[in-house]
């Protein structure tokens, strides 16, 4: 069963996403900050991560750059509740696989994760 990590500082959001992914047949774990996720992913690397962009202390973009700096290649779906034109480009440039706006359409999210997982297995 593919393992997906969810990184979002907002507890209600990460809880809801974890439920949705688990109900859709994925294994999912949630992390409250970028730092927590980076540390945990060293022990067990997820097959895909759903990463919130705007988080205090360490933003999603900084997580992407930290992964990039460590030469870790991981499919990342960036999600954001505040969409600015330049952030999409910045995220994709920093190695994000996809960029989705909140609130998340179920099909869009699951299709994107599936596509990301497929790209990894290939």
- Nearest CB to other proteins, comparing residues 9 and 29: 9
Min. distance of Cβ 25 from other proteins in angstroms?
A: 9
Stretch that binds other proteins, among 6-14, 38-46, 91-99, 111-119 (CB under 8 A): 6-14
Size of interface with other proteins, in residues (CB under 8 A):
26
Q: Is 20 in the site for other proteins (CB under 8 A)?
A: yes
Two tokens, residue 44: 């067990």
With CB under 8 A as the contact rule, the residue among 1, 43, 44, 56 that binds other proteins is: 56
Q: Is 51 in the site for other proteins (CB under 8 A)?
A: no
Query: CA-CA distance, 70 to 45, in Å (whole number)?
Result: 13
How far apart are the two ends of the chain, measured CA to CA in Å?
16
Of 120, 110, 113, 105, the C-alpha closest to 24 is 110
Two tokens, residue 59: 């933003």
């Amino acid at each position: 069963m593919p393992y997906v990590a969810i990184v979002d500082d907002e507890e209600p959001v990460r809880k809801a996403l974890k439920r949705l992914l688990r109900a859709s047949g994925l294994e999912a774990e949630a992390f409250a900050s970028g730092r927590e996720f980076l540390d945990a992913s060293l022990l067990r690397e997820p097959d895909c991560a759903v990463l919130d962009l705007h988080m205090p202390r360490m933003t999603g973009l900084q997580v992407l750059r930290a992964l990039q700096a460590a030469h870790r290649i991981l499919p990342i779906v960036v999600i954001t509740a505040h969409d600015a034109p330049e952030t999409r480009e910045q995220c994709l440039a920093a190695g994000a696989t996809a960029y989705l706006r909140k609130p998340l359409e179920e099909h869009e999210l699951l299709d994107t994760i599936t596509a990301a997982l497929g790209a990894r297995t290939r």
